[in-house]
């Protein structure tokens, strides 16, 4: 069976050109970048080159990039790093209620250690209100962490506005840009942030590698203790093949993302229009225009997202659901709760995320396949008013 992969927000396949670039670094160029001999220096040179490519994508200096094991580590190390470095100044962090668990769980961890966290609400489209941020700031606020775009509903947050407010109070801003880096063009200066997390496997690079951008002069307590790698900001021998692959993926994204974003936006809008026209009682979640080019998140009333997702899988379509209940608790996600979806909509949410290899034929196949699935599931649903 042909598979149509529409879960690029969960992970992307590595681009074959990325894999080609990585291969020699498992075997021929295997040295430890910290070694002073030629083998080590060759590997170190490749890491330096990759750093330049990632820095170029973000519009920052090479030395402001710290390679990590992925988005989760970048988020953890940014938030904990600032928290522990700023204890003399204060203990208050502001974040949003729709962050990824990598941010929310780090904040919860810090709360258990005496830090105070304000979770800003969002409006029905998932946007943070900058006035709420202003009101939340206290003399003890040491960090503002607001994601660039939400991974479930695709809403893009007003980061430049948020950073402008933060600057008035001299508070650093961290953003989780895992879903935007390499997908929509921006620079760290345009966003005005001091810290930014990214992950290679969301932009056609390998899994298990990411980066934290740290603006020059930003003080962080290191998250990993050990060797002096990454200018003493992240101990452990560099994952050279993965970093090389990440660099290649960043270089390719810088060259092609504008065109890919335009292509994805057209397909995204075709998919939204096709599904909303052919399925009654369907709602688009997330902001109608301030949204990721590749994100479609719909609530289909009276049926469960999981049931749609699994039935689509049988038809060869990989999607995802925002009301994930892998634990069996069947609770809608914190994001859908935060945008205030009523029960019957939160349970019926389904996410399609498109990528550079998504075609019009893929989208049309979903538009043809989903409506009869919904009709079948609704016919069995006790929630439908008959």
| Catalytic residue IDs | 325
Q: Give the tokens for residue 10.
A: 């969960």
Size of interface with ligand PLP, in residues (CB under 6 A): 14
Q: Is 92 in the site for ligand PLP (CB under 6 A)?
A: no
Strands 210-214 and 173-176: unpaired
Question: How far is residue 159 from each of residues 12, 32, 41, 133, 148, measured CA to CA in Å?
Answer: 25, 38, 39, 12, 7
Of 197, 191, 233, 234, nearest in space to 213 by CA? 197
> Phi and psi at residue 15, in whole multiples of 5°?
-65, 135
Q: Is 348 in the site for ligand PLP (CB under 6 A)?
A: no
Task: Report the nearest approach of ligand PLP to the CB of residue 206 (Å).
Answer: 10
Q: Is 102 in the site for ligand PLP (CB under 6 A)?
A: yes
Q: Is 151 in the site for ligand PLP (CB under 6 A)?
A: yes
Q: Give the tokens for residue 192.
A: 């005005």
Q: Is 294 in the site for ligand PLP (CB under 6 A)?
A: no
Strands 210-214 and 195-199: antiparallel
Closest CB to ligand PLP: residue number = 71
Task: Report the nearest approach of ligand PLP to the CB of residue 320 (Å).
Answer: 10
Query: Which residue, 97 or 278, has its beta carbon nearer to ligand PLP?
Result: 97
Question: Binding residue for ligand PLP (CB under 6 A) from 12, 72, 320, 323?
Answer: 72
Q: Is 71 in the site for ligand PLP (CB under 6 A)?
A: yes
* Burial class (CB within 10 angstroms; exposed 0-12, middle 13-18, buried 19+) of 42: middle
Question: In degrees, to the nearest 5, what angle opens at C-alpha 71 toward C-alphas 140 and 255?
Answer: 115
CB 271 within 8 Å of CB 366? yes
Binding to ligand PLP (CB under 6 A) within 209-268 occurs at: 210
Query: Which residue, 295 or 311, has its beta carbon nearer to ligand PLP?
Result: 295
Question: Binding residue for ligand PLP (CB under 6 A) from 15, 80, 176, 306?
Answer: 176
Question: How far is residue 48 from each of residues 52, 61, 362, measured CA to CA in Å?
Answer: 6, 12, 39
Question: Binding residue for ligand PLP (CB under 6 A) from 55, 144, 156, 178?
Answer: 178
CB 125 within 8 Å of CB 291? no
Binding to ligand PLP (CB under 6 A) within 195-214 occurs at: 199, 201, 210
- Choices 55-63, 71-79, 216-224, 239-247 (CB under 6 A): range interacting with ligand PLP: 71-79
Question: Binding residue for ligand PLP (CB under 6 A) from 86, 106, 141, 179?
Answer: 179
DSSP 8-state assignment for residue 285: -
Positions that interact with ligand PLP (CB under 6 A) = 70-72, 75, 100, 102, 147, 151, 176, 178-179, 199, 201, 210
């Amino acid at each position: 069976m042909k598979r149509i992969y529409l879960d690029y927000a969960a992970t992307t396949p590595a681009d074959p050109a990325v894999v080609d670039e990585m291969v020699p670094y498992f075997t021929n160029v295997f040295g430890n970048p910290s070694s002073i001999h030629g083998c080590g220096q060759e590997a170190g040179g490749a890491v330096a080159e990759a750093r330049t490519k990632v820095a170029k994508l973000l519009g920052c200096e090479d030395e402001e990039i710290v390679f990590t094991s992925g988005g989760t580590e970048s988020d953890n190390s940014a938030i904990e790093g600032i928290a522990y470095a700023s204890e003399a100044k204060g203990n208050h962090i502001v974040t949003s209620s729709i962050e990824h668990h990598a941010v929310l769980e780090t904040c919860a961890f810090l709360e258990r250690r005496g830090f105070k966290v304000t979770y800003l609400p969002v409006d029905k489209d998932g946007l943070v209100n900058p006035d709420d941020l202003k009101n939340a700031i206290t003399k003890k606020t040491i960090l503002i962490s607001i994601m660039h775009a939400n991974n479930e509903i695709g809403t893009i947050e007003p980061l430049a506005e948020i950073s402008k407010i933060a600057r008035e109070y001299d508070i650093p801003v961290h953003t989780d840009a895992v879903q935007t880096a390499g997908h929509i063009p921006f620079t760290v200066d345009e966003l005005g942030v001091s810290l930014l997390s990214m992950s290679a496997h969301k932009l056609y690079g390998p899994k298990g590698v990411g980066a934290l951008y740290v603006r020059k002069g930003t003080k962080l307590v290191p998250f990993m203790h050990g060797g002096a790698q990454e200018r003493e900001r992240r101990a452990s021998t560099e994952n050279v093949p993965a970093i090389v692959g990440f660099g290649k993926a960043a270089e390719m994204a810088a060259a092609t993302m504008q065109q890919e974003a335009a292509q994805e936006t057209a397909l995204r809008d075709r998919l939204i229009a096709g599904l909303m026209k052919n399925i009654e009682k369907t709602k688009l979640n997330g902001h109608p225009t301030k949204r990721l080019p590749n994100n479609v998140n719909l609530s289909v009333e009276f049926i469960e997202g999981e049931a749609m997702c699994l039935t689509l899988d049988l038809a060869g379509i990989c999607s995802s659901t925002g009301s994930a209940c892998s634990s069996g608790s069947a609770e809608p996600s914190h994001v859908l709760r935060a945008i205030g979806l009523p029960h019957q909509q939160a349970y019926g949410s389904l996410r399609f995320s498109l990528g550079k290899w998504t075609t019009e034929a893929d989208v049309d196949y979903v538009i043809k396949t989903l409506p009869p699935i919904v009709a079948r599931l609704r016919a069995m649903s006790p929630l439908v008013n008959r």
